[in-house]
Structure 1
């Protein structure tokens, strides 16, 4: 469905290393700025233990995970909003994604140059946020000038938009991202149409050294407090560990994780958190031929979910047979779930829940 999460950050913070591990793409990752010029794109499966268990239960021949698109975007530097470095390209690429995974360096390595000279996660976070806000301020002011002229006609809609745009401008001018501004329905709709960079949801990725992966470090603690203050999520991973894991087979990966006292790769947490950040949920179709995870935005109704599988399913939707994956797994089969009254029929107004197992009935 084209849900895109952009990986951004200053040069040399580990963006491409993490992208390599996510996608096993093997793109160039080097110790100099702007190694990534054109954005690299990879489709990444969303790990889901529920899907694994459902597929094992019915002995399916084909298991298909939900997928997310990650985009590795060129490193940004201070002044990007004024065209410094690859500023205009960078900002244009961010405009095309739905959410931002902001990678921040929380490790010291004298062999890897830091573009600002030393490690300071809060400063690095501020540089990226400031450049996005400055770019947004320019966009809002242009839109405001145009709307003020239109409002001179006396049109009530344009007058209301002027007030909303002034509120957005004032908020940005205080150094605050657009996503933190509280607006009414009309304001939110206007904000949505502007595609502002700082309106996009953000996930912070603290990239740490291998020795800090189990306990973190003071840099991560600082960054975690800052993320919590703006109600953003933070995931701590070690790009070096994840890159090494991506080269191992399944058995070697398990042994390596066990040696590090880790229950799963950090990238699994990153993918799941990114998925949640985008407001997505998963429903399943279960069968011996194929068991598959499907992605829909939270709040989707049954016909829209059916349309993700095939547009004919949405057009001819009659009803949906629904059982939660927990109930289905507990029963061991659809027949048993039906016997126990756990499988129910739902109509067009049913809002699909995360973890639903669904059979759609439709007319062609």
Structure 2
């Protein structure tokens, strides 16, 4: 599952520093280092301590974590929706990502100019929101024009679509992001083909100075208050510090560095895990002598679909899944001991896979 998060932000907010920190973060598996696919796309491994636990228990030949892609989306300026700056390219890039990471400047530094003349996180958020809302409004209006006549002729289906589109039109014109507009399933169906930009899930990154990492500051508070209405999360980190941590080779050095700042884990780890959650993803594992591997699926998937991520044959010929819970594996130390103690559940096609399940699929093609 190639999932992408697009990193956006105004000029000079620390967006590129953050992307560069992500790209130099040495991935946890030597055989899957962060690699840059294009100059602005990088693949990074999702940190997961459960993999280390399984590695100790199974001692496999290799360990494969799950990965996520980050796209550094070309800078946005006011007027992008009308094609200003790299506007069109910017908007096309955003359309392709699954979620948006919006970096917002929450630090004071007189050596780094702010486009608005002063640090104002709500201004930053609004500039980008407005450009994306205008683009969405354009899409909604185009679809309205297409269905208007048919609806007026009394076509029931077209009327329903028009009612849904009007909801979004009104919300967007009122300066709301599509994700914050109260919508029923049928409303969402009506706009599904528009691939709206402001409907994508978003994670805000408040980029602060080193001294504010633990406490935050008044800019962070204002931002948190503002995004509370949107059901979005704010992650506080210091991009400049993250790029220093990312350059350290040894895990011990990293831990030492973090503890000096009173941090338990790096901001990048929180960002990657946050992005993973934002995309509604969970992980299940396969564990054997050859490899211990993490697999990414959407929350709520049933066993056959989860098996299909490994190979389509697994889904086609699915017979059953054997499932071990990690605490049981830790307690009994091996798969065979779990079997002897009745800790392997045999599940059928309707089983909904849980985060952290250790799975073994039986199939017949």
1:201 equivalent to 2:201? Answer yes
Larger mean CA deviation between 304-313 and 82-91 belongs to: 82-91
> Counterparts of 1:3-14 in structure 2 under 5 Å?
3-14=3-14
Given the two structures, how large is their TM-score scaled by the length of structure 1?
A: 0.93
Q: Which residue of 2 aligns with 1:89?
A: 89
Q: Which residue of 1 aligns with 2:341?
A: 340
Distance 2:218 2:259 in 1: 25
Q: Which residue of 1 aligns with 2:146?
A: 146
Q: Which residue of 2 aligns with 1:35?
A: none
Cα deviation 1:304-355 (Å, max 9, x = unaligned): 1111001111111111001122222232212222223221011111111111
Distance 1:330 1:107 in 2: 47
Distance 1:185 1:261 in 2: 44
Q: Which residue of 2 aligns with 1:275?
A: 276
SS of aligned partner of 2:309 = helix
Q: Say whether the 8 Å CA contact 2:25–2:246 is kept in structure 1.
A: no
Q: Which residue of 1 aligns with 2:364?
A: 363
Give 1:192 deviation, angstroms.
Answer: 2.3
SS of aligned partner of 2:304 = helix
Q: Say whether the 8 Å CA contact 1:319–1:361 is kept in structure 2.
A: yes
Larger mean CA deviation between 265-274 and 209-218 belongs to: 209-218
Distance 1:234 1:46 in 2: 19
CA RMSD in angstroms, aligned pairs only = 1.6
Give 1:191 deviation, angstroms.
Answer: 2.4
Distance 1:25 1:116 in 2: 31
Q: Which residue of 1 aligns with 2:73?
A: 73
Distance 1:350 1:153 in 2: 47
> Counterparts of 1:112-191 in structure 2 under 5 Å?
112-152=112-152, 154-191=154-191
Q: Which runs of 5+ in 1 are unaligned?
A: 27-37
Q: Which residue of 2 aligns with 1:350?
A: 351
Distance 2:171 2:39 in 1: 30
Distance 1:40 1:171 in 2: 33
SS of aligned partner of 2:204 = strand
Distance 2:339 2:192 in 1: 43
Q: Which runs of 5+ in 2 are unaligned?
A: 27-37
Distance 2:300 2:234 in 1: 25
SS of aligned partner of 1:319 = strand
Distance 1:326 1:172 in 2: 47
Q: Which residue of 2 aligns with 1:292?
A: 293
Q: Say whether the 8 Å CA contact 2:98–2:200 is kept in structure 1.
A: yes
Give 1:152 deviation, angstroms.
Answer: 4.6
1:63 equivalent to 2:63? Answer yes
CA 1:173–1:133: 2 relative to 1, 3 Å: same
Q: Which residue of 1 aligns with 2:247?
A: 247
Q: Say whether the 8 Å CA contact 2:25–2:247 is kept in structure 1.
A: no
Count of residue pairs the alignment pairs up? 353
Q: Say whether the 8 Å CA contact 1:65–1:292 is kept in structure 2.
A: yes
Larger mean CA deviation between 153-162 and 102-111 belongs to: 153-162
